[in-house]
A and B are shown apart, each in its own frame.
Chain A
Amino acid sequence: MNTFKRKLLNWSSFPSLVLIIALSVINSFLIPHFFSMSYISSFLTSYTPLIIVAMAQTFVLLGRGIDLSVGGIISLVNVIVVTLFGQGWSFPSAIAVGILAGIIIGVLNGIVIGFLRVTPLLATLATTSVAAGAALWIMPFPGGSVPIEYVMWYQSNVIGFLPTPLLFIIISILIWFIWKATPAGLQLYSMGRDIQKTYVSGVPVVWIQFYTYVSSGFISAIAAIALTGNTGAGDPLVGNTYTLFAVAAAVIGSVSLMGGSGDIFGAIFGAVFLGLAFSLIYAIQIPSTYQDLTSGVIVLLGIIGASLMKKRKRTFSFKPSHIKPIGGNQP
Chain B
Amino acid sequence: MKIKFSLLLAIIVMQFIGCKPEAQFFWGNYSKTLYAYKKSPSDKTLADHKKSLTEIISVSLRKRKPVPPGVYAELGFIFEKEGNSKDGMDNFNQEIILYPESKEFIEKLENGFQSGENK
Q: Do A and B bind each other?
A: no
